[in-house]
């Protein structure tokens, strides 16, 4: 009995000891979990202190709030090389996980595809995680024509269009629907003004209407035809320019009028397409970029210099990818409350009322 009592006592003590060790283990595990949870914050604070000592700025990154477009599909119109906004937009959308389908102007398609195949764009196709930007499909497109019935004989038989079919806006939309089903994002990154180098006072009716047709109505047409195949919550973006609202001498041929129409249409289409399909419509007013289209105007380098001297942010010229990143944000659920807006991505140049390098203000 005594022995058995002793045994019982020993067992009890063993059990208590086991429980104590278990509790201690649990406490240690909890402490480690708390420590590792605060470790990231501690490290950020330690880094911040180190940077503060070195006189640099800390950017706090809050995990969980990022532009995520995984599983989304975008149709981007207006890419024919790797210099313009359309290319940078495609890149940013793919960085966010979006699939990108292109619509390329028929006369520019052959050279674009040939250069692409030959690897001319390989360097600028590289994404930040090492992947290469890929297009799900490239369609020939001319945004000046809505249906085959609109195409005049001289265009239909033009050798720059030979070998291509189904390139009017309604036909491209139908092909995209057949090949991909629904899409989520629609990008209009195109413009054309045959008389852009002429002052408005010297612009012909034909030149003026051509600028509005290619640069503004094309956006209306794209939303008309692609709207029905966009998922609810989808977003449309176009690119505009400050010359729509203030005078930029040299941006002629009715292009300033075309951009004014584009911005006004953005508001009306935001209302109509919002009510009809539950999609958002915005436009980005971009600062100057030395793209192929901009070079045709003839003074883009001067505009870039002007911006660099006079914009609030004057450390570097605007990069196309900054417009790309803004587009990815505006097309993401993070911007679900933004529609009908003209968003300036121009280093702030639009807010300036007086040129800093004006000779009139010199002593
Ligand atoms: P870009 O040359 O890269 O893009 C223009 C594209 O339009 C080209 O790919 C061209 O092939 C295409 N295009 C022309 N006519 C077409 C048609 N009928 N159908 C289909 N495609 C057609 O030049 P970008 O400067 O990147 O231009 C993109 C948009 O950005 C345009 O709306 C432009 O007005 C706007 N934007 C440009 C600047 C700038 O400084 N570059 C500034 C503000 C806004």
**Can you tell me the distance from the alpha carbon of 284 to that of 167, in angstroms, rounded to the nearest whole number?**
26
DSSP 46: H
Q: Which helix (H) or strand (E) holds 324?
A: helix 320-330
Each residue of 340-353: pLDDT tens digit?
A: 999 999 999 999 99
Helix extents (H) in 78-194: 85-95, 106-117, 122-125, 153-156, 169-180
Measured in residues, the chain has a length of 363
Average pLDDT, integer, range 186-205 = 98
Nearest CA to ligand 1 atom 8: 78
**Can you tell me the distance from the alpha carbon of 175 to that of 178, in angstroms, rounded to the nearest whole number?**
5
Is 337's pLDDT higher than 60? yes
Please state which of the ranges 15-24, 207-216, 232-241, 351-360 shows the lowest mean pLDDT: 15-24
Assess whether the C-beta atom of 76 lies below 6 angstroms from ligand 1. no
Q: CB of 87 within 8 A of CB of 123?
A: no
Question: Which residue among 251, 271, 306, 344 is the active-site one?
Answer: 251
**Can you tell me the distance from the alpha carbon of 233 to that of 125, in angstroms, rounded to the nearest whole number?**
28
Buried b or exposed e, range 323-349, using 16+ CB within 10 angstroms: bbbbbbebbbeebeeebbbbbbbbbeb
What's the 56 CA to ligand 1 centre distance in angstroms?
38
Average pLDDT, integer, range 129-156 = 97
Assess whether the C-beta atom of 105 lies below 6 angstroms from ligand 1. yes
Each residue of 263-301: pLDDT tens digit?
A: 999 999 999 999 999 999 999 999 999 999 999 888 999
Annotated active-site residue 251? The verdict is: yes
Each residue of 292-328: pLDDT tens digit?
A: 999 988 899 999 999 999 999 999 999 999 999 999 9
What pLDDT does residue 15 have? Answer: 52
Assess whether the C-beta atom of 324 lies below 6 angstroms from ligand 1. no
Test site for ligand 1: of 110, 250, 293, most ligand atoms within 8 A of the Cβ: 293
More confident position, 236 or 49 = 236
Q: Which helix (H) or strand (E) holds 214?
A: none
* Nearest atom of ligand 1 to the alpha carbon of 287: 42
Phi, psi of 16 (to 5 degrees): -60, -45
Assess whether the C-beta atom of 253 lies below 6 angstroms from ligand 1. no
Nearest CA to ligand 1 atom 22: 105
Secondary structure class of 186 (helix, strand, coil): strand
What's the 77 CA to ligand 1 centre distance in angstroms?
9
Secondary structure class of 262 (helix, strand, coil): helix
Nearest CA to ligand 1 atom 41: 289
Residue 180 CB coordination number (10 Å): 15
* Nearest atom of ligand 1 to the alpha carbon of 259: 34
The two tokens of residue 315 are 């450390």
Average pLDDT, integer, range 227-233 = 98
**Can you tell me the distance from the alpha carbon of 2 to that of 333, in angstroms, rounded to the nearest whole number?**
75
Each residue of 6-19: pLDDT tens digit?
A: 444 555 555 566 56
Please state which of the ranges 38-47, 214-223, 342-351 shows the lowest mean pLDDT: 38-47
What are 187's strand-pairing partners?
76, 237
Assess whether the C-beta atom of 142 lies below 6 angstroms from ligand 1. yes
Show Cβ contacts of residue 136 under 8 Å, excluding neighbours closer than 6 positions: 73, 99, 100, 101, 180
Average pLDDT, integer, range 140-162 = 97
Assess whether the C-beta atom of 258 lies below 6 angstroms from ligand 1. no
Question: Which residue among 139, 241, 306, 344 is the active-site one?
Answer: 241
Each residue of 231-255: pLDDT tens digit?
A: 999 999 999 999 999 999 999 999 9
Q: CB of 345 within 8 A of CB of 326?
A: yes
Question: What is the DSSP pairing of strand 137-141 with strand 183-188?
Answer: unpaired
* Nearest atom of ligand 1 to the alpha carbon of 83: 3
The two tokens of residue 295 are 């070079």
The two tokens of residue 182 are 């629904």
What pLDDT does residue 20 have? Answer: 63
Secondary structure class of 121 (helix, strand, coil): coil
Surface-to-core class of residue 362, CB atoms within 10 Å of its CB (0-12 exposed, 13-18 middle, 19+ buried)? exposed
What pLDDT does residue 19 have? Answer: 62
Assess whether the C-beta atom of 141 lies below 6 angstroms from ligand 1. yes
């Amino acid at each position: 009995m005594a022995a058995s009592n002793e045994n019982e006592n020993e067992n009890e003590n063993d059990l208590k000891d086991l429980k104590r060790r278990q509790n201690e283990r649990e406490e240690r595990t909890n402490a480690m979990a708390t420590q590792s949870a605060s470790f990231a914050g501690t490290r950020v604070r330690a880094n911040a202190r180190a940077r503060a000592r070195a006189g640099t700025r800390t950017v706090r990154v809050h995990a969980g709030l990022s532009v995520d477009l995984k599983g989304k599909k975008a149709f981007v119109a207006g890419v024919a090389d790797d210099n313009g906004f359309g290319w940078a937009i495609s890149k940013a959308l793919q960085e966010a996980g979006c699939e990108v389908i292109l619509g390329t102007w028929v006369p520019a398609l052959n050279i674009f595809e040939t250069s692409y195949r030959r690897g001319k764009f390989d360097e600028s196709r590289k994404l930040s995680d090492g992947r290469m930007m890929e297009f799900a499909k490239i369609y020939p497109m001319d945004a000046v024509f809505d249906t085959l019935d609109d195409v005049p004989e001289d265009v239909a038989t033009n050798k720059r269009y030979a070998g291509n079919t189904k390139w009017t806006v309604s036909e491209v939309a139908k092909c995209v629907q057949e090949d991909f089903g629904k899409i989520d994002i629609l990008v209009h990154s195109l413009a054309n003004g045959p008389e852009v180098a002429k002052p408005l006072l010297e612009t012909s009716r034909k030149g003026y209407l051509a600028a509005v047709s290619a640069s503004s109505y094309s956006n209306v047409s794209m939303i008309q035809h692609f709207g029905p195949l966009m998922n609810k919550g989808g977003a449309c973006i176009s690119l505009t320019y400050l010359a729509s609202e203030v005078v930029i001498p040299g941006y002629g041929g009715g292009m300033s009028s075309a951009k004014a129409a584009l911005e006004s249409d953005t508001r009306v289409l935001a209302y109509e397409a919002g009510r009809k399909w539950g999609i958002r419509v915005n436009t980005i007013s971009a600062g100057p970029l030395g793209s192929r289209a901009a070079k045709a105007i003839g003074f883009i380098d001067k505009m870039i210099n002007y911006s660099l001297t006079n914009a609030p942010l004057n450390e570097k010229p605007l990069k196309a990818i900054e417009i790309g990143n803004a587009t990815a944000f505006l097309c993401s659920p993070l911007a679900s409350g933004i529609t009908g807006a003209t968003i300036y991505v121009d280093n702030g140049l639009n807010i300036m009322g007086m040129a800093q390098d004006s000779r009139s203000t010199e002593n």
